[in-house]
Structure 1
Amino acid sequence: MLLSVHAAATWLMFGVTLIVQRVHYPLFSYVRTDDYEAFQAAHMRRITWIVGPAMTVELATAAWIAWAPPPGLPPWMGWAGLALVLAIWGTTGLVQVPLHARLTDGFDAAAHRRLVATNWLRTAAWALRAGLALWMLGHGAAAP
C-alpha cells in the first residue's frame, strides 16, 4: 500500500510538472500585461491546491520508505528517492517560489525565462523519481 500511494503521488507530480513545463509556463508570456498580476496570483492559488497535497504525500512516503524500506526493497532505492524529493523541494522553495513571487508584480521576461529554464531541473528530477517509483513498486511487489 505504501509503495502504491508513493508511486501515485510521484506520477501525479510527474504529470503535473510535464504539463506545467511544456504547456502552462510557456503560455505565461501570452497573457496581456493588464491581466498578468491577476493571472499570476490565480495560478499560484490554484496550482497550490494540486501540488501542495501531492508533494506532501510524496515527501512523507519517500521519507517512510527511506527509514523503513519495505521487504524486498534495497535501502539505497529509498534513500535515492528521498534525495530526489529533497532536491525538488529545495529548488521549489529556493528558485521557483521566489520567481513566482517576482512575477506577481507583473510580467518580467527575464524572471519568466529563468522560471522555465530552472523548472527543467524539477522536471528531470520527477522523471527520475517516476522511474524509481515504478522500480520500487516492482521490487516491493516481488518481495516474498
Structure 2
Amino acid sequence: MTTNLDGAGDVAPVLVVVASVFVPSDAVLLALHLAATAAMFGLIWFVQVVHYPLFAAVGRDSFVSYETAHRRRTAFVVGPLMVAEGLTAVLLVVAPPAGVGLALPVAGLVLLGVIHMSTVWLQVPRHAELNEGYDEATVRRLVRSNWVRTLGWSGRCAIAAAMALVAS
C-alpha cells in the first residue's frame, strides 16, 4: 500500500483498518446496544410510574434543591447510557450485522431521534420550570409528555431485542 492519499483506492484500506479497530464485532455491537437500550427502557419506566409522580411528595420548601440534585444525578446516570446507545445505534445503521438488514436499525435510530427531540423540547423545559419551584400543573405536563420517551424506549428495546435475535 502506498502513502499517497490522492487516489480513492489508497484510502479504502485505511478505512478498513480503522473500522476493524474501532467497530466491535456484530455480536458485541448488538450486545452493547441491547444492554444500553434495555437499561434506558427500565429506567424510563421507573421514572414514568414512580419517580416523576412522587415529585408531589417532596414538599414545596425543599423542591428547588431536590430538583437541582435530581437533574445533576440523573445526567450522571443517563449520560453514559445515552452516549453508548446513540453510538451503537448509528453503527448499526452504518454497518448492519448480517441477517439484520437496514429497516430495524433505521427504525430504532428514528425512534431515538424522537426521544431526543422530546427530551430537548418537552422534558428539559419542564425541568427548567420546576427548577424555579414546584408547580403541580408543570409536573402533570412533565408526566404526560414523558410518555413519548417511555413508549419510544419501549419500542427501541423491542427493536434491539429483535435485532439480537435475527442476527446470523
TM-score (norm 2): 0.82
**Counterpart residue number, 2:161:** 134
Which of these two proteins has the greater Rg computed from alpha carbons?
Answer: 2
What one-letter code is carried by the residue in structure 1 that aligns with 2:148? Answer: L
CA distance in 2, matches of 1:131, 1:43: 28
**Counterpart residue number, 2:32:** 5
Does residue 1:29 correspond to 2:51, yes or no? no
1:16-55 map, 5 Å: 16-55=43-82
Deviation at 1:124, TM superposition (A): 0.5
Does residue 1:60 correspond to 2:87, yes or no? yes
Gaps of 5+ in 1: none
* Large movers: runs of 4+ above 2 Å: none
What one-letter code is carried by the residue in structure 1 that aligns with 2:75? Answer: T
Query: Which one has a larger percent helix, Structure 1 or Structure 2?
Result: 1
Gaps of 5+ in 2: 1-27
1:107-122 map, 5 Å: 107-122=134-149
Does residue 1:81 correspond to 2:111, yes or no? no
Q: SS at the partner of 1:33? A: coil
Percent identity between matched residues is 43
Q: How many residues align?
A: 141
CA distance in 1, matches of 2:124, 2:86: 18
> Over aligned residues, Cα RMSD in angstroms?
0.7
CA distance in 1, matches of 2:117, 2:85: 14
Does residue 1:98 correspond to 2:125, yes or no? yes
**Counterpart residue number, 2:99:** 72
* C-alpha distance after superposition, 1:37-89 (max 9, x if no partner): 00000100111111111011111111110111111111111100100111111
